[in-house]
Amino acid sequence: MKYVGRLLGLAIMLSAPLANAGDINLKLAHSWPKDFPIFGTSVDEYAALVSEMSDGKIEIKVDSRNKHKSAFGIFDFVKSGQYDIGQSASYYYGGKDPDTLFFTTMPFGMTAIEQYAWFHEGDGLELANEVYAKHGIQVMTGGNTTMQMGGWFSKEINSVDDLNGLKMRIPGFGGKVMAGVGAVPTNIPAGELYQALERGTIDALEWVGPSLDLRMGFHKIAPYYYTGWHEPSTELMYFFNQEKMESLPAWAQSVLLNAAKLTGFNMTIESQHESSENWHAMSSEYPNIEVRDFPTEVMDALRASNSALLEEEAARSDISKRIIDSQSAYLKKTREWTAIGDQSYLNNVGSK
């Protein structure tokens, strides 16, 4: 065939058989129900973007958790090669590898733009890939919720004492920080949250922020909406099976990684938009919602609890220490700029 090709002056075409339509067929699994707003629909947009930019040469079949039945199985799916690509949140996989914890968001940590700078201009993505390489996975940032709210509370929190024994749905590292000040963190499936709050099984819960909270209806039964501290910039992540990636031509790897990065930025922008729309709707339609900041005393206690936990984490391994040091140094420097940049601006000309 190659000879015939050369004879007909078709050598270039023959040497690029991967350039045929649909030649690269990939399977992707994400953590969300089918058509789940923002988190899930953004993955459908990813597949469409990859197909469009590659002129149909790369086609991605997207499976939601309705299909694969395992919201928290994405890490294993991609590690094993059962799926080529995954989209989920890194911190769901602390049980698989405790160092995956750091690549979503950290209490008292960076905001979305600060954390993106750490990932892509600092050494954040490099450190994430160092952690994931041990599992044969390559990663890319996948979209940010922007600031998550501190949660919905049935009662006002005026002191650290008010947190003592408080039953709150708050999973992950934020939950551990809460436990450090005497609260009782629990995790409850999304579908049971409203009833748990209504019946007093829990006194408080955090979900996301206005972008996804409105449809949950928590404001009807727990009117105190506290501002954020525990997840200032929750970043989703794309996982790629390393072996599969390396089997693909360079242009296809580039399309897959850059389309993921772009889709992630698009999702971040969409989160800002949806939070704006939904917060406006909530605050106009439900004037009983009371936005509250935690008192300084409470913030100080939470910060101390957080620092103690980070010290434990840093003592765990060489890489956990390097990640925590990198985040802490980056945050310090970038916040100095944010303080005289966006923060001063918002305070001087802001919403007043």
Residue placing its CB nearer to its own copies in the complex, 216 or 262: 262
Nearer to its own copies, 29 or 38 (CB): 38
Distance CA 294, CA 157 (A): 7
> Contacts with its own copies in 5-24 (CB under 8 A)?
8, 10, 12-14, 16, 19-21
For 98-161, strand residue ranges (E) read 137-144, 151-153
Using the contact rule CB under 8 A, the part of the chain among 84-92, 180-188, 198-206, 276-284 near its own copies is 276-284
Write down the least CB distance from residue 175 to its own copies, Å. 18
To its own copies, the closest distance from the beta carbon of 26 in angstroms equals: 16
Q: Which is nearer to its own copies, 5 or 182 (CB)?
A: 5
Site string (233-272) toward its own copies, x via CB under 8 A: ----------------xxx--xx--xx-xx--xx-xxx-x
Alpha helices in the chain (DSSP H): 2-7, 11-14, 41-53, 65-68, 74-80, 112-120, 124-133, 172-180, 193-198, 210-213, 242-246, 250-285, 296-316, 318-338, 344-349
Within 70-109, the residues that bind its own copies by CB under 8 A are 108
Which of residues 60, 89, 128, 147 is near its own copies by CB under 8 A?
147
- We find the least distance from the C-beta atom of residue 243 to its own copies, in angstroms, to be 21
Mapping DSSP to helix (H, G, I), strand (E, B) and coil, where does residue 241 land?
strand
Applying the rule CB under 8 A, the residues between 277 and 316 that interact with its own copies are 277, 279-280, 283, 291, 293-294, 299, 303
Residue 10's Cα: distance from chain center in Å? 47
Instruction: Pick between residue 29 and residue 259 the one whose CB is nearest to its own copies.
Output: 259
Nearer to its own copies, 246 or 336 (CB): 336
Count interface residues toward its own copies (CB under 8 A).
Answer: 85
How far apart are the C-alpha atoms of 159 and 162, rounded to whole Å? 5
CA angle 282, 39, 330 (to 5 degrees): 95
Contact in structure between 267 and 42 (CB atoms under 8 Å): yes
Distance CA 29, CA 99 (A): 22
To its own copies, the closest distance from the beta carbon of 254 in angstroms equals 5
CA separation for the pair 134, 317 (Å, rounded):
15
CB atoms within 10 A of CB 255: 20
Q: Return the sign of the alpha-carbon dihedral for residues 179, 127, 46, 117.
A: positive
Closest contact distance (angstroms) between CB of 182 and its own copies is 20
Counting every residue written for the chain, the total comes to 352
Tokens coding 118: 């750490």
From CA 288, how far away is CA 101, in angstroms rounded? 36
Q: Measured from the CB of residue 67, what is the shortest distance to its own copies in angstroms?
A: 27
Q: Contact 146/127 with Cβ under 8 angstroms?
A: no
Residue indicated by tokens 């997840």: 231
Q: Which residues, 188 to 207, sit near its own copies by CB under 8 A?
A: none
Contact set for its own copies, span 318-347 (CB under 8 A):
330, 333-347
Q: How far is the CB of 111 from its own copies (least distance, A)?
A: 6
CB 167 within 8 A of CB 228: no
| DSSP-assigned letter for residue 138 | E
Q: Work out whether 117 is an interface residue with its own copies (CB under 8 A).
A: yes
Residue from 31, 87, 100, 111 binding its own copies (CB under 8 A): 111
Task: Name the residue nearer to its own copies (CB basis): 82 or 338.
Answer: 338
